[in-house]
Structure 1
């Protein structure tokens, strides 16, 4: 009977201190990664009692209003972070800085007042979703984060009511670019000059405006010449313009290509040359060990033979 009372007291005083959010979140594996599913639980803040080694954290469809540095530093192993459709108005500048392994960040459908420029410096970030933000100038905040050091392969900035596309600068890693749903957005070839490896651009329900009537045709032909697939419609009213691209845009494109060559070379060194050198070193060590062993064995046999031929008595 006493044991039962002790268990009740333990639950009341210890179990009651366990946040309800941690009891609701479900631990599960996502693509062989440790994950926590806290989807649509009515949370007002990021739980601090989850496994600190989780790699996937889904906090979508909650009521989180602010992301502080202390909220996320516990989960430094995160690779995928979903914060979609909360009520987040502020993300502290250093809140995500320690997430050096983060590959995907989903911030869409939040009333953000500013996008931290440190997001664009995350060393592993490949996919970034920042759509449906009506209270922030997304293009301005992206340009404020330049130079973009993150190896972004996919960027989604759809339905943001932008006045002008952001100038992303030199970004040779970007392959997919989603600008769909934005209306009457100023476009120039300079907005694409640094995207030398771009393969697809989503322009569904997108309308652009241009400095001159021929800019539309020039952008269209620029994308076609580089075999960029356009999703949606991109129709120009005038198509008989001379194809004229500013020299500065051509220079930026050339710089982007050169930068991509350097990065490809680094990747080759990292994934081919270095492993080959390591294997060669291991083989050399094995050969040296075998030579040493053979020499040592020969020396041992010679010593034994000399010892055997030595007279026992002088």
Structure 2
């Protein structure tokens, strides 16, 4: 066998050995890069399964995860049991997948979820159960063709339970803003890069605390542009991201939106809910403070009572303990004065005898 043949045999053996060892993780850095990373930003447990070609949500992660990053994968469907193990998740990132469908009940267990990113997927609507999550504040669904959203929102139960503060529906093919009912906490909307033409001002009346709305790269008519700008001025919001109106139209052509926004029942209902939420939040903190104070008082009372009982018990034990009777001092025998004098005379006589 020549050297060339020997080299080929050795190369074949090395290749076979490498392939046999790959499933067991002996492939160095390349294999490690395929593993989910466990991080702790801000003391929260974050699991980053970024760009791993995953086709479904992995079920072998720590169930106590709080930030779950599944961005840049190939997940097409979210199943009912996809997140059953991860009920502590507060931030869920599903950016840049291929999600087309979501089974009912998929997010039902995520009662602690505060932020979800479903942007850059293949959704045609937003799962309605998302709007009932009790802690959800930030919702990203941008860059999805939400053709069925208006139809599906007709079945939405309002007012929604989610305390939404930020909504991103940019580049979703929308011709109008989604009507989600009264949203007293919503302060920022990104609806840019949509074929918006005319906005339903009632929808804006639902957002009584709106501070910023991005309508850049839209197709707003001049009247809609003017109405939106005036509404934002009424509520003290920024008009920075609203297209500049070409001209100012007369009220007979473009009615002032005050009566259908700020002066409407919807707007006042929104304000009422916002004030009620503030009161409830304030009362909640007062209740927590009172509970803490009561706990401290009860603990202090318990400690004092325990110490008092100890002192009483100790005092009682000391009283019950028999006292040591002191031994009497050695007493001299009692002698009457007569006997004492007689005794003295006898001693004197004895002394005289001795002298004689």
Q: TM-score, normalised by structure 2?
A: 0.73
Residue in structure 2 matched with residue 89 of structure 1 by the alignment? 100
Larger relative contact order (Cα-Cα within 8 Å, sequence gap ≥ 6): 1
Aligned CA distance change for structure 1 residues 303 and 184 (closer, same or farther; 3 Å): closer
Residue in structure 2 matched with residue 273 of structure 1 by the alignment? 287
Query: Pick from 137, 142, 159: which aligns with 1:126?
Result: 137
User: 1:284 Cα deviation (Å)?
Assistant: 4.5
Query: Pick from 56, 60, 82: which aligns with 1:71?
Result: 82
User: 1:248 Cα deviation (Å)?
Assistant: 9.5
CA–CA distance in structure 2, aligned partners of residues 291 and 253 of structure 1: 56
Residue in structure 2 matched with residue 223 of structure 1 by the alignment? 232
Indicate the RMSD between aligned Cα atoms, in angstroms.
3.0
Query: Pick from 49, 62, 67: which aligns with 1:38?
Result: 49
SS at match of 1:208: coil
Contact kept? 1:22, 1:50, Cα under 8 Å: no
CA–CA distance in structure 2, aligned partners of residues 44 and 137 of structure 1: 25
CA–CA distance in structure 2, aligned partners of residues 302 and 100 of structure 1: 57
Contact kept? 1:193, 1:250, Cα under 8 Å: yes
Aligned CA distance change for structure 1 residues 239 and 127 (closer, same or farther; 3 Å): same
Q: TM-score, normalised by structure 1?
A: 0.82
Q: Deviations over 1:155-176 (max 9, x none)?
A: 0000111122112211111111
CA–CA distance in structure 2, aligned partners of residues 166 and 181 of structure 1: 15
Contact kept? 2:176, 2:200, Cα under 8 Å: no
Count of paired positions: 295
Query: Pick from 230, 234, 247: which aligns with 2:243?
Result: 234
CA–CA distance in structure 1, aligned partners of residues 202 and 215 of structure 2: 17
Please say which structure displays the higher CA radius of gyration.
2
CA–CA distance in structure 2, aligned partners of residues 125 and 221 of structure 1: 30
Alignment partner of 1:253 is 2:267 = yes
SS at match of 2:120: coil
Structure richer in strand, relative to its length: 1
User: 1:207 Cα deviation (Å)?
Assistant: 2.5
Contact kept? 2:205, 2:260, Cα under 8 Å: no
Aligned CA distance change for structure 1 residues 50 and 15 (closer, same or farther; 3 Å): farther
Q: Deviations over 1:26-80 (max 9, x none)?
A: 2222332112111111111111111121111111111111010122212111111
Residue in structure 2 matched with residue 188 of structure 1 by the alignment? 200
Contact kept? 2:53, 2:74, Cα under 8 Å: yes
Aligned CA distance change for structure 1 residues 117 and 178 (closer, same or farther; 3 Å): same
CA–CA distance in structure 1, aligned partners of residues 260 and 186 of structure 2: 22
- Unmatched 5+ residue regions in structure 2? 1-19, 26-30, 326-356
Query: Comparing 107-116 with 292-301, which one deviates more in the overlay?
Result: 292-301
SS at match of 1:224: helix
Residue in structure 2 matched with residue 80 of structure 1 by the alignment? 91
